[in-house]
Amino acid sequence: MIGLDDIRAARERIAPHVRRTPVLAPTSAKDPLSPSLVLKLECLQVTGSFKARGAMNRVLATPRQELARGIVTASGGNHGLAVARTAYVAGVPATVFLPSNVSPSKVEKLKGWQARVEIIGEVWDAANQAALAHAEKQGALYLHPFADPLVVAGQGTVALDLLEDAPELDLVLIAIGGGGLLAGMATALKALRPNIRIVGVEPTGSPTLKASLDAGRVVTLPEVTTSVPTMACRRTDERIFELVRNAVDDVVLVTDDEMRDAARWLWFEAGVAADLSGAAAVAALRQRRVALAGAASVCALVCGAGPDGMG
C-alpha cells in the first residue's frame, strides 16, 4: 500500500501546511505512569488532530481539476475537520457526513471551516455510505479517512517527526479507529527502527483490528457499542490489515470509561485537553494493558484534542 519513501514524500509535500507538534515528558506527575514516558502532542496539530496530515497530503497530490466539484467525506469528527480545513485552504467546497454521536463542538468547528454538515446514522459506516452516494451523484472527490494510500502516508509523517525528537524510543502506543494512523506510523517506525515495539489501542466496543488479527483475516463486527465516534468502525480495509499484521506487535483494548479517566489524567497532570481517542494510549498504560518490562523509553500518542477530560 505504502512504504517509507511515500511517507517521506508526504512530509515534504505537507510541511508548509501542518505543524511540527511537540513531544512532552510529563515530569513531576502526582500519578506517574512511567519514568521514561513521553507524550506526542498531535492534539496540538491544526484542526486538533493528526488527521490534518493525511487530508492535506491527499488533496495536494490530487490534480486541481479533480477538486472542481468539491470534496466529500464521512467522519467521526477529526477527519471531517481536517478535510474541511484542507478544502478551505484549497478554495473548494467540502461536505462532511457524520454519525449522530459526533461531538457538538466538532460540528461547530466544521461549520467554522465553512463545511456543509450532514448527520446520518448512528455510526461511521452509515455516514460513509451516504458520503459515497453523494460523491457519485455530485462528482465530488471522496476522501476516505483511513483506506486511502495518500492519507495513510500523510498520517505516517507523525512517526518521522517523533523519531527525530525522541530517537531512543523502544515502545509506541497508538490509538485505532479504522487503522490508517497505526498503519502509516508503523510502516515508518519499523523501517527506521526494526526493533521498536508498536502497540495499537482500540475500544472494547469497537475491536475492529483486534478481531481481525485474532481471526487472521478482515472481519466485520456485528455491532459497534463504543460511544467514541472517532474510534467507531465496524470493518477495516484489507490493505490496512496487512500493514498492521506485518508491523504491529500487539493490539489491546480499553473501555470508554478508562479513556475518559485517562483524559482527566492528561488534563490534571499535563494541562493537555484530549478527546477520548487522544487519551486511548494513556488509558492502556494506566490500566497496565501493556507490559513495560524492557522498555527504556515509551511514547503515548495523544492524537486528538477535546474537552473530555476537563469536566
Tell me where in the chain the CATH 3.40.50.1100 domain(s) lie.
Answer: 4-50+152-302, 52-142
- In this predicted structure, what is the pLDDT of residue 124? 87
Determine the distance from the C-alpha atom of residue 208 to the mean position of all C-alpha atoms in its chain, rounded to a whole number.
Answer: 14
What are the grid coordinates assigned to 143, written together? 476522501
Among residues of the chain, what percentage have pLDDT more than 70?
100
Cα–Cα distance measured from residue 242 to residue 216, given in angstroms and rounded to the nearest whole number: 10
3-class SS shares of the chain: helix, strand, coil, % to 5:
45, 15, 40
Per-residue b/e over 135-160, b at no fewer than 16 CB within 10 Å?
A: beeeebbebbbbbbbbbbbbbbbbbb
pLDDT digits (tens, 9 = 90+) for 93-126: 999 999 998 989 899 999 999 999 999 998 888 9
Q: SS3 for 136? A: helix
Whole-model pTM? Answer: 0.95
Per-residue pLDDT tens for 199-228?
999 999 999 999 999 999 999 999 999 999
Q: Which CATH fold would you assign to the domain 52-142?
A: Rossmann fold (3.40.50)
Cell numbers placing 285:
498504560
- Beta carbons of 231 and 276 less than 8 angstroms apart: yes
The band of 190, judged by pLDDT with boundaries at 50, 70 and 90, is very high
- The string of pLDDT tens digits covering residues 48-97 is 999 999 999 999 999 999 999 999 999 989 999 999 999 999 999 999 99
The per-residue pLDDT of the chain, averaged, comes to 96
4-50+152-302 placed in CATH 3.30.1300.10: no
